[in-house]
Amino acid sequence: MTRTNRILALAGVLAGLAGAAGAQGPPRPAARSTPYKREVPRRLLAQTRISEDSARAVAMARIPGAEVQALELENEHGHLIWSWELRLEGKTGIEEVNVDALDGSIVGVEHEEPSARRRDTTRGVASAQQLVNRTVAAHPELAAVEVAVLTGGACRTVAATDPKDIGERCDKDEWGPIRTGTPDVEAPSAADPVYDITQALHDSAGRLIGAVGMDLKPMAGQDRAAVVARARAILREMEAAIPTKARLLSPDAR
């Protein structure tokens, strides 16, 4: 083969390779690694300025080498955030990274040990209904308890002594304490001889997650202040058993 023919043959091979590459089209973006649990309300998604993928990149840069376990887009204290749960191989617990959904900044990082995500028969995590049942059983002065949770900008009862109350939207009794932090207290009447006290509900880290209503039977010699103080103490017990809102809503909490 002459030198000219060799050059022409090489050119033909290169042209063929280029054509094959062109037929494959532009490179595809990398696929999302392991599938993870997502809770992304459409109404909130429409308000974001930072995409899920961009927020994920920010969270992964904060915890390099981690694997995403779960994601929730939520409105927390008036801030729209992408809340990521990440797990690092060889390390116990979960890293929670909250990314602002409007500007992409990191607004919170928290490590949660497995011990905080478990419960036994006396302490630890409880699902919402388990928490209600356990609280009423431990406090005979309680005639009823309702737990309402903020999710996607809405607020609904998720657990209650009376199952008919589950699913109801929050009204002013819940929204008042949620917005102001001041308990709503209704004194006993002839028709309803209990104190109806509604308080803002937080998780064990102090994050606002909803409200809890209690019907408290007044004990002999107790005035209004004493009953409210008792309701506050019971609330603190409940909050100590809630590591995160996600765990409170988890149907398989143990």
Is residue 105 located within the same domain as residue 141?
Answer: no
Q: So what's the pLDDT on residue 150?
A: 93
Domain CATH number, residue 191? 3.30.450.40
| Residue 89 token pair | 């191989």
Is residue 85 located within the same domain as residue 199?
Answer: no
Q: Which of 54, 80, 112 finishes a domain? A: 112
Is residue 199 located within the same domain as residue 97?
Answer: no
Q: So what's the pLDDT on residue 116?
A: 46
Q: Which of 86, 112, 138 finishes a domain? A: 112
What does the DSSP 8-state code read for residue 115?
Answer: G
Dist CA 45 CA 102 (whole Å): 11
Q: So what's the pLDDT on residue 192?
A: 84
Give the residue among 88, 104, 91, 84 at the shortest CA–CA distance from 40.
Answer: 84
Is 179 within a domain? Answer: yes
How many separate domains does the chain show? Answer: 2
Q: So what's the pLDDT on residue 76?
A: 66
Q: So what's the pLDDT on residue 35?
A: 80
In this predicted model, what pLDDT tens digit does every residue of 45-58 receive, in sequence order?
A: 899 999 999 999 99
Buried b (16+ CB within 10 A) or exposed e, 125-150: bbbbbbbbebbbeebebbbbbbbbbb
Residue 60 has pLDDT above 70, yes or no: yes
Is residue 157 located within the same domain as residue 52?
Answer: no
Domain CATH number, residue 44? 3.10.450.40
Is 226 within a domain? Answer: yes
In this predicted model, what pLDDT tens digit does every residue of 8-32 receive, in sequence order?
A: 444 454 455 444 444 444 433 334 4
Query: What does 13-44 look like in DSSP terms, one character per residue?
Result: HHHHHHHHHHHT-SPPPPPPSS--EEE--HHH
Ranges 76-85, 162-171, 206-215, most confident: 206-215
Is 2 within a domain? Answer: no
Is residue 150 located within the same domain as residue 42?
Answer: no
Residues above pLDDT 90, as percent of the chain: 43
Residue 96 has pLDDT above 80, yes or no: yes
Is 20 within a domain? Answer: no
Is 129 within a domain? Answer: yes
Residues above pLDDT 70, as percent of the chain: 78
Is residue 209 located within the same domain as residue 103?
Answer: no
Domain extent for 62: 37-112
Residue 6 has pLDDT above 70, yes or no: no
Q: So what's the pLDDT on residue 62?
A: 93
Please, which pLDDT band fits residue 251 given cuts at 50, 70 and 90?
low
Is 29 within a domain? Answer: no
Dist CA 55 CA 88 (whole Å): 18
In this predicted model, what pLDDT tens digit does every residue of 239-248 receive, in sequence order?
A: 998 988 988 8
Is 19 or 206 the better-scoring residue by pLDDT?
206
Q: So what's the pLDDT on residue 12?
A: 53
DSSP, collapsed to helix, strand or coil, labels residue 47 as: coil
| Residue 201 token pair | 């509900």
Residue 122 has pLDDT above 80, yes or no: no
Q: Which of 59, 91, 112 finishes a domain? A: 112
Residue 191 has pLDDT above 90, yes or no: no
Is 19 within a domain? Answer: no
Is 184 within a domain? Answer: yes
In this predicted model, what pLDDT tens digit does every residue of 140-180 receive, in sequence order?
A: 899 999 999 998 778 999 999 998 889 899 999 999 999 99
Q: So what's the pLDDT on residue 78?
A: 64
Query: What does 5-19 look like in DSSP terms, one character per residue?
Result: HHHHHHHHHHHHHHH
